Amino acid sequence: MTADEFRELALNLPGAVESSHMNHPDFRAHGKIFATLGYPDKTRGMVKLSPQDQRQFVTQHPEAFTPVKGAWGLQGSTSVCLSTARPEIVAAALDLAWQASAVTTPKKKTTPKKAARRKTSA
């Protein structure tokens, strides 16, 4: 598959738009990045999957999918080798990434810091 085919598949998802992040194209929906192109080089794309979905794609299609290195990879960011990826498989991965972007994560509740208590001596 080519970068243009990856782009077309990503942009065919409802509400998806192309933008730029760190000097390479990204694809966003629901205000979140769900895929990118050109990182770490022009031969690759990335889909942001759940760790469970990532394991499935890496296991079933190791020639095309690998976890991104580091913490991002542990969280599901998955590299796509464009030259070996089949468009129908990438379309399925992009769809899962797009669906995950629609899920709203609850904001962490912040509690005010407790005021330091002073000991008073009588």
pLDDT tens string 39-97? 889 999 999 999 999 999 999 999 999 999 999 999 999 999 999 999 999 999 999 99
Query: Residue written as tokens 């990856």?
Result: 6
Which fold does the domain 3-95 belong to in CATH?
Aspartate Aminotransferase, domain 1 (3.90.1150)
Give counts: helices (H), strands (E), the chain: 4, 6
Measured CA to CA in angstroms, residue 44 lies from 4, 15, 116, 118, 120 at distances of 12, 23, 52, 58, 64
Residue 23 is predicted with a pLDDT of 84
Residue 110 is predicted with a pLDDT of 55
In the predicted structure, residue 114 carries a pLDDT above the cut 50: no
